[in-house]
Amino acid sequence: MMSLRQLADKLVKPLGRFTQHNYGEWSGLNNARAIAHAYNGWRYKDRIKLHQSLFQERFDELLAGNGPFSPNQDSLVMKDGYCFDRSGTLPFVQDILKEVGPIVDERQGKVIGYIQQNFFRSLFKKEDITKCPSLLNFPTSSAVLKTVGDYFQTVPVLSKTLSPGVRIMESNVKFDPTPDAGHRESQNYHLDRHSHPFMYCLVLLKEVTEQSGPWSFLGAETSAKAATKLRYGKRSVPYRISDEMMYEHVDPKELIVFTGKPGDVLFIDSSKCFHYGSRNAVVPRFLAMFAFTTPKRSDLTQTFLRQNNRPLEGASELRKIVLEPHE
């Protein structure tokens, strides 16, 4: 028999689909986020309470029973909405390079699966989770979960719907049938809407230069000022912001560009830091992308998308909490 919450999901599903495809511009992104936040706060009330109580009462214990930290853990603190690690010493990051590197070599330049945009495509297959243990070992390591959890102030969740919790992505201008058409979609500034806060942990799989269409962003403080001046999130204000619009309010020198060597890592709250990427990637860019939310998302995708199931056999208590589907 369908529960009250399952029935509510069924009733809310059309609104979820509509706002997902219209970015909330019909009502204003902020209003769409607020509606979803309120609904999810009721729908997942017990789950939210569990994650908060575990963070407040047992987070250190859970981390200690979960596996290794980084030798540079003290430096992994989010400031102005982001944090870099270029040491190459995060647990399992070298395993990612060893396990995922051959996948990139084999599949690059090909149409494999998920096409986010013509210029930004997935190289990921479901079986990669089993073939490449690092794809879950890394994002569920104590080093990563402490950084994300301390920032969220709750036990985090590896995203169950959008953005996918685990991705291997290629940016490549050769995919784009109209490369001279100007910046489009995620090539323009935007704030991610899925959850607030919402964190990406990005791992460079190969060297990324200015010619690779690198992930480029503004710090959270600068982004907040720009959002106020742009009236971002209000009705009729576009979700994607052109350079011309942004630089009326922000000095272009504020831009931070994520170039670097294989194994370099960026933690970033992409719901608070305006960002763009995949611009004219004449030298292809390859990223492993891990997306984290709180149990209280700011979208309604869990009403109409099946939650990703991850293997839990032999997992620590903390890893199970981070990975298991939410009822």
Q: Give per-residue pLDDT as tens, 12-40.
A: 999 899 888 887 677 888 999 999 999 99
Report pLDDT digits (tens) over 160-213: 999 999 999 999 999 988 888 899 999 999 999 999 999 999 999 999 999 999
Cβ–Cβ < 8 Å for 316, 65: yes
Residue 185 DSSP SS3: helix
Higher pLDDT, 62 or 28: 62
Residue 179, SS3? coil
Coil, strand or helix at 43: helix
Give the residue from 75, 98, 94, 97 showing the smallest Cα distance to 85: 75
Average pLDDT over residues 290-303: 97
Counted domains in the chain? 1
- Tokens representing 124 are 């990921």
pLDDT at 118: 87
Max Cα separation, the chain? 58
Which pTM value belongs to this model?
Answer: 0.97
Domain that holds residue 285: 4-323
CATH number at residue 98: 2.60.120.620
Instruction: Return the residue matching tokens 């909490």.
Output: 321
Mean of pLDDT values over 151-162: 97
Gap between the Cα atoms of 78 and 150, Å rounded: 9
| Per-residue pLDDT reduced to its tens digit, 80-131 | 999 999 999 999 999 999 999 999 999 999 887 667 788 999 999 999 999 9
Per-residue pLDDT at 18: 87
